[in-house]
Structure 1
Amino acid sequence: MSAGFAAPVCGMTWGWVGTRGTWATPEAESSMRAMADTNVTWAAIAYASVQATPFDTEIPFSEAPTVTDAEIVWAIREAKSSGMRVCLKPVVNCADGSWRAHIGFLWPDVPGEPTWDEWFASYRAFILHAARLAAAEDCEMLCVGCEMVRADAQDAQWRRLIAEVREVYSGLITYNCDKYQEDRLTWWDAVDVISSSGYYPIDEWEAQLDRIKAVVDRHDKPFLFMEAGCPSREGSAQRPNDWTLAGAPSGEEQLRYYEAMFAHCRERTWVSGWMLWDWPARLYSAADAASNDDYCPWGKPAGAFLRDVYGAMSKGEAR
């Protein structure tokens, strides 16, 4: 089942969105240890730098609210001390609330308008800075982008960026494409691992896995879901990507989705694993788990299910 990895990737995304001051705290340490206790063996340490709008070209990654380098190093070391491998995942967000998939510029360039070259110069600085941190802290994997749907078409820019990352970082490199985009990227050959956001409706898993398999076969690369999961909220199994969906808290809804997702992937040996979404730096209390309707499975039925599944996978047993 590892499909290119030494063992299955029993992963979880930790710390999002990486708000300055929320990492390197006693609460964050407790959160990290609780995640490791769920038989998680990989941590995707995810944080965001914030540009003003989808049309801005400056990414001030050293400024608040983004976590500091010291906090990032703390998180990597804390994950490793808890026995987990690490994928460092720097992400760009927009301060105006726009989804990063909409970041985009006129093409070809138009005089007087912001350009892809200008934006990628800033983005390259952000990612190369993260790559140096990942190299210094021996992170096993680096994710160089997440759900950048409009930017995905800039083939030459991504190839240049990845080549420059390889000059400073020797671990595995992946890119987290958005759901339904796996067969649209033209530069999968430039990375080591194909990964995507697997927020597929509960009744679409078989069809989507068939479609993704064709991509994996064509490129002969390992594949994992860099994101996947479902809020513990009524109705979310059909719209797992929608964190704003109205519905009453429901641990059973989240469990039903987890059971289906793992069941559909059970026979797909080319699926190397998951970096499930997500585990916050500050956990809610155990008493509040039943009323919490977010993605984190801690203290919920899906958490107990995940502990068993990941435990079996880590031991090489059938999941």
Structure 2
Amino acid sequence: MLAADAATLLARPVCGMTWGWVGTRGTWATPAAEASLDRMAEHAVTWTALAYSALQATAFSTEIPFDQEPTVTDDEIVWAIRAAHARGMRVCLKPVVNVADGTWRAFIGFFDWDVPNEPSWTQWFEAYRAFILHAARIAEAEGCEMLCIGCEMVRADAQEAHWRRLIADVREVYSGPITYNCDKYQEDRVTWWDAVDVISSSGYYPIEQFHEQLDRIEPVVRASGKPFFFMEAGCPSREGSPDLPNDWSLPGAPSGAEQLRYYRTMFEACRSRDWVRGLMLWDWPADLYAVADATANDDYCPYGKPAGHYMAQQYSAWNEEAR
């Protein structure tokens, strides 16, 4: 995939939403999942990241049993891809590794060099390679428009040689554009952006910092010559969350107004920069709550909330401007 090809793909904005997280077996390919995708499609969503996780036991484990529960099955993944395509959405397949004991994946890590009789990056990347290549083969067979090869792997980011080998292996089985979803504040720290086709990151920036952080990210994107979009972004509908949008456990009462306030700032900032090619907002569950329960829901999903209506308006306008 040439950078020019990826740029052509993203000539129209990514008006996106992450769907189905965490990909628990049995929650995809159901009537509830069908209804959830229908509701999402009604919000001018033209891209979706189908995100699911495989679990390793601890941050120091070197086995990733992605074919076991609770991870969704291959049949469920194929179902979701086809269901999204049937609704006119482009698909970024997003396999993610999580840690079963609750440690954030950013802390997965080993000695910088391989040490005998100790778990190593070489062992871990061997397991991770099998996981990602399996997803890449599905993405190729089902015509996914993009593949995300990792998400917020902060300690692993420094393993440049391992990532370059993985990307080369992925290109042997997947012909579409490849992206990596770095964590917030890491856009100018990843040293191997030249190996992927699209730069993406998690844009959970405090509401007062959004323009400042875009100023920091812009030189990285300009220098790379690659398209950029936020693979994750958003804010819970909760009091206080605009100041800490990455904290899903922040105490506070439900507040659609606070989520809307964040969405207004986020969209204004991103749409004012021609190099930001869109947003893949976080997130839309496979088992969607009833619209009557929206005011009491304090999570990231904007369905039935003021932010959902605003998002649909902004996505419609963004797409129209790109025609």
**TM-score (ref. length: structure 2):** 0.97
Preserved contact between residue 12 and residue 322 of structure 2 (Cα < 8 Å): no
Match of 1:252 among 242, 252, 257: 257
Structure with greater helix share of residues:
2
Q: Deviations over 1:38-66 (max 9, x none)?
A: 00000100000000000000000000000
What is the rounded CA distance, in whole Å, between the counterparts of 2:11 and 2:277 in structure 1? 10
Preserved contact between residue 3 and residue 271 of structure 1 (Cα < 8 Å): no
1:1-319 equivalences in 2 (<5 Å):
4=8, 5-316=10-321
What is the rounded CA distance, in whole Å, between the counterparts of 1:266 and 1:127 in structure 2? 32
- Give the match's secondary structure for 1:216: helix
Preserved contact between residue 15 and residue 46 of structure 1 (Cα < 8 Å): yes
Shift of 1:317: 6.4
Listed as ranges, the gaps of 5+ residues in structure 1 are none
Write out the 4+ residue segments of structure 1 that deviate beyond 4 Å after TM superposition. none
Preserved contact between residue 207 and residue 243 of structure 2 (Cα < 8 Å): yes
Q: Deviations over 1:63-86 (max 9, x none)?
A: 000000000000000000000000
- Give the match's secondary structure for 1:204: helix
- Give the match's secondary structure for 2:206: coil
What is the rounded CA distance, in whole Å, between the counterparts of 1:317 and 1:191 in structure 2? 25
Q: Deviations over 1:137-159 (max 9, x none)?
A: 00000000000000000000000
Shift of 1:316: 1.9
- Give the match's secondary structure for 1:315: helix
Preserved contact between residue 149 and residue 177 of structure 1 (Cα < 8 Å): yes
What amino acid is aligned across from residue 118 of structure 1 in structure 2?
Q
Number of aligned residues? 317
- Give the match's secondary structure for 2:208: coil
Preserved contact between residue 172 and residue 192 of structure 1 (Cα < 8 Å): yes
- Give the match's secondary structure for 1:114: coil
What amino acid is aligned across from residue 101 of structure 2 in structure 1?
D
Preserved contact between residue 103 and residue 148 of structure 1 (Cα < 8 Å): yes
Preserved contact between residue 48 and residue 90 of structure 1 (Cα < 8 Å): yes
Shift of 1:280: 0.2
- Give the match's secondary structure for 1:54: coil
What amino acid is aligned across from residue 310 of structure 2 in structure 1?
F
- Give the match's secondary structure for 1:275: strand
Preserved contact between residue 3 and residue 269 of structure 1 (Cα < 8 Å): no
- Give the match's secondary structure for 2:321: coil
What amino acid is aligned across from residue 208 of structure 2 in structure 1?
D
Listed as ranges, the gaps of 5+ residues in structure 2 are 1-5
Shift of 1:189: 0.1
**TM-score (ref. length: structure 1):** 0.98
What amino acid is aligned across from residue 285 of structure 1 in structure 2?
A
- Give the match's secondary structure for 2:187: coil
Alignment root-mean-square deviation, CA: 1.1
- Give the match's secondary structure for 2:178: strand
Preserved contact between residue 222 and residue 270 of structure 1 (Cα < 8 Å): yes
What is the rounded CA distance, in whole Å, between the counterparts of 2:7 and 2:180 in structure 1? 17
What is the rounded CA distance, in whole Å, between the counterparts of 1:314 and 1:77 in structure 2? 23
Shift of 1:266: 2.1
Percent of aligned positions that are identical: 71
What amino acid is aligned across from residue 176 of structure 1 in structure 2?
N
- Give the match's secondary structure for 1:50: strand
Preserved contact between residue 235 and residue 242 of structure 2 (Cα < 8 Å): yes
What amino acid is aligned across from residue 212 of structure 1 in structure 2?
I
Shift of 1:104: 0.2
Preserved contact between residue 3 and residue 270 of structure 1 (Cα < 8 Å): no
- Give the match's secondary structure for 1:107: coil
What is the rounded CA distance, in whole Å, between the counterparts of 1:177 and 1:167 in structure 2? 23
Shift of 1:3: 5.9
What is the rounded CA distance, in whole Å, between the counterparts of 2:300 and 2:169 in structure 1? 34
What amino acid is aligned across from residue 266 of structure 2 in structure 1?
M
